[in-house]
Amino acid sequence: MKILVVEDERKEGQFVAQALSEQTYTTKWVGSVAAARDALAESPYDVIVLDLGLPDGDGLALLKEWRESGFNESVLILSARDAVSDRIQGLNIGADDYLPKPFSVDELVARVRSLIRRQSGGARLTGWEREGVSLDLQARQVTVEGVPVELTNREFALLELFMQNAGRVMTRTLIAEKVWEASYDMETNLIDVYVRRLRQKLESGDGKARFKTVRGSGYQLL
Ligand code: CA
């Protein structure tokens, strides 16, 4: 899951990005309207946390522009403007949620999680189970045949992507976009290294093959 944080206060932006990264979301922080436009043009995001007062423009205008050009990412507005009329305006323009500042970071994380759940068809998504592997989104835990497996944040995000798309071939480009911060020409080798590690960690438990390498393309969770 990828999250874009648009916030010009450096401290606050970094704090929010950090809190979301700790939840194993892949997070990018930008501090202006221009940088937000660039980030979104470069790579897709699942959720955008949007401040309204930005140095080179207004968050609401940016949101309006996104919605008019067909971007349908979930947007959570984070703003010191907390009058009811501001909230209504934000929601009318197409925000999915509105959190007034000052906010509790736990509440922010909970709301982001709820937006992600809504995207997954509205069901109360708590995780995935497949072939003895279980991934629990709330506990941020993975088990193989009931035995906990230690994963780094990046490995967790990678497995989450595979579980979400089980049986589908995930190309390296898609993996780079979804698990790393941008669709830059990253060393695709890096993805191979991560998949290999994930494979080892998940397969060592019971020796079952869980990933199929699709030559020249990517990987598939069996
Ligand atoms: Ca601001």
Please state the rounded mean pLDDT for residues 85-93: 87
pLDDT at site 189: 82
pLDDT at site 186: 65
Q: How far is the CA of 159 from the centre of ligand 1 (A)?
A: 35
pLDDT at site 18: 92
Question: In terms of residue numbers, what domain contains 157?
Answer: 127-221
Domain CATH code at residue 141: 1.10.10.10
Structural domain count of the chain: 2
* Whole-angstrom distance, CA of residue 210 vs CA of residue 199: 7
Q: How far is the CA of 10 from the centre of ligand 1 (A)?
A: 9
Q: Check: CB of residue 162 under 8 Å from CB of residue 170.
A: yes
Please state the rounded mean pLDDT for residues 37-44: 88
Q: Which of 28-32, 48-52, 137-141, 216-220 has the lowest mean pLDDT?
A: 137-141
Q: Indicate whether 169 and 60 sit together in one domain.
A: no
Cα distances (Å, whole numbers) of residue 29 to 68, 77, 88, 153, 192: 23, 15, 26, 17, 26
Q: How far is the CA of 166 from the centre of ligand 1 (A)?
A: 40
Q: Indicate whether 41 and 134 sit together in one domain.
A: no
pLDDT at site 182: 54
Q: Indicate whether 79 and 173 sit together in one domain.
A: no
* Whole-angstrom distance, CA of residue 161 vs CA of residue 120: 13
pLDDT at site 183: 57
The rounded percent of the chain whose pLDDT value lies above 70 is 92
